[in-house]
Structure 1
């Protein structure tokens, strides 16, 4: 790896690239489940479709307590439980 020109800069390796393409779960309430481990809510998922069932399981009512699937690399909301366009 070559040294970066700025002291604060770094070169991203393949593991960073893989994570930046994933999706995380966000909510304004604490996410929990009777059958899923807590780590399920902090995992980076490879697809939106893989994250949705976990996100829904984390709240009592996904139509009231909003839960979002967010692209890690961009911060863009890819799915939101409270909007009809995403249902």
Structure 2
């Protein structure tokens, strides 16, 4: 997809969210984007990009995202006026 960032939803310290340990430090910046064109396409980073309803999320890669983060982002989807989350 071709997208445009519409809002910064979260700035998360990876170490504060129950991810498996890493040798380096990571902050995650999560944006709500609007699709402005294009179509889904596989890349070296993503295969089979799809949208899922909140009650049908597939198994997650815990090194990348945890369930509590997904739940929080759905809260942002339901209430776009929520402030940005900062750790």
TM-score, reference length from structure 2: 0.21
1 or 2, which has the higher strand percentage?
2
1 or 2, which has the higher helix percentage?
1
Rg bigger for which structure? 1
Q: Which has the higher contact order (CA 8 A, sep 6+)?
A: 2
